[in-house]
């Protein structure tokens, strides 16, 4: 009788062993999605929140509108200063032109009188006065030219200031960076938006991703671009197809939050699969398992 039980136990162990060989590695992980946190670059009050939790958004859709009236007023002030500066530059340019003409006249007059001086028709004092007038006119021209340069520099500075105000006005309308779904909303009209604080979170849940880890011996069972069955724990035996979109070219230690202590010291390769989620039945964080064929 003891021999009979021993034979049955041995047969059961053999059956379990054979069954384990027939199963593939079936790596597991949790579903992920590309996420981005939406934050303000300005410290401004929230005027309007146009999207709610669960809403689908398109790239470029306005999510949040900030109060930028003060920035608009500051820009108008800078624009008025630029217009005034432009008028001053026109006046100074006219002064440059007049000084240049006066200098030409002074030099030609001096040249004629130098010839007359050699003939004795002009005194030394008259010649000195003409040279002084020429030098004064030359200094006036140089001063006017420097004023134009200073006004040009100031105008360039105002142009840069206006560009900053324009960019800040653009930042007053916070837009979606891609097509996705609002999975977090922390913003309410009337609240103060601070730079860097998360106001919303957008995710591409239409396409979920699953990251799993395979040993070097099991890595040969997957190929880039190929699809494999994926079982989602929450959906029972229902199979989904996951397409391999990335295979790591560098080995790493198994993440600490998976497997046993012994397996965490093993070198593995990360593999990422993409799953279609048009039906929205899949959710971020769901445990999933890739079904691979046995060796």
Report pLDDT for 57: 97
Query: Domain 69-171: which topology?
Result: Helix Hairpins (1.10.287)
**pLDDT for the residue numbered 1:** 44
pTM: predicted TM-score of the whole model, two decimal places: 0.72
Give the model's confidence band at 24: pLDDT under 50 very low, under 70 low, under 90 confident, else very high.
low
Q: What is the pLDDT of residues 99-110, one digit of tens each?
A: 888 888 888 888
Average pLDDT estimate for 120-144: 85
pLDDT at residue 15 greater than cutoff 50: no
Instruction: Average the pLDDT over each of 119-128, 261-270, 271-280 and give the range with the smallest value.
Output: 261-270
* Confidence band of 34 (pLDDT split at 50, 70, 90): very high
Q: Could you tell me where in the chain the CATH 2.40.30.170 domains are found?
A: 25-37+204-290
Give bridge partners of residue 209 from the DSSP assignment.
32, 274
| CATH 1.10.287 segments of the chain | 69-171
β-bridge partners, 212: 271
Tens-place pLDDT, residues 209-231:
999 999 988 998 999 999 999 99
User: Which CATH superfamily does the domain covering 25-37+204-290 fall into?
Assistant: Efflux pump adaptor protein, beta barrel domain (2.40.30.170)
Residues of the chain with pLDDT > 70, as a percent, come to 87
Instruction: Give yes or no for a contact between 224 and 253, defined as CB atoms under 8 angstroms apart.
Output: no
């Amino acid at each position: 009788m003891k021999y009979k039980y021993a034979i049955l136990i041995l047969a059961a162990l053999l059956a379990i062993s054979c069954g384990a060989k027939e199963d593939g590695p079936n790596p597991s992980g949790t579903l992920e999605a590309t996420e981005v946190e939406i934050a303000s670059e300005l410290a401004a009050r929230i005027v309007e929140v146009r999207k709610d939790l669960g809403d689908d958004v398109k790239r470029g859709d306005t999510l949040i509108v900030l109060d930028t009236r003060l920035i608009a007023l500051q820009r108008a002030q800078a624009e008025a200063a630029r217009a005034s500066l432009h008028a001053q530059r026109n006046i100074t340019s006219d002064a440059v032109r007049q000084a240049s003409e006066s200098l030409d006249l002074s030099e030609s007059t001096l040249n004629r009188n130098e010839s007359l001086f050699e003939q004795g028709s002009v005194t030394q004092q008259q010649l000195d006065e003409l040279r002084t007038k020429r030098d004064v006119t030359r200094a006036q021209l140089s001063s006017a030219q420097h004023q134009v340069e200073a006004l040009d520099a100031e105008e360039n500075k105002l142009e840069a200031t206006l560009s900053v105000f324009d960019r800040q006005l653009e930042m007053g309308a916070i837009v979606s960076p891609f097509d996705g779904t609002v999975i977090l909303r922390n913003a309410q009209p009337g609240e103060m938006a601070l730079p860097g604080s998360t106001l919303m979170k957008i995710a591409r849940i239409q396409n979920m991703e699953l990251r799993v880890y395979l040993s070097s011996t099991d890595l040969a069972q997957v190929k880039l671009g190929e699809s494999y069955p994926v079982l989602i724990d929450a959906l029972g035996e229902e199979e989904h197809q996951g397409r391999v979109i990335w295979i790591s070219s560098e080995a790493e230690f198994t993440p600490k939050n998976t497997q046993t202590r012994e397996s965490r010291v093993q070198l593995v390769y990360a593999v990422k699969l993409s799953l279609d989620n048009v039906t929205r039945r899949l959710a971020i964080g769901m445990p999933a398992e890739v079904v691979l064929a046995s060796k």
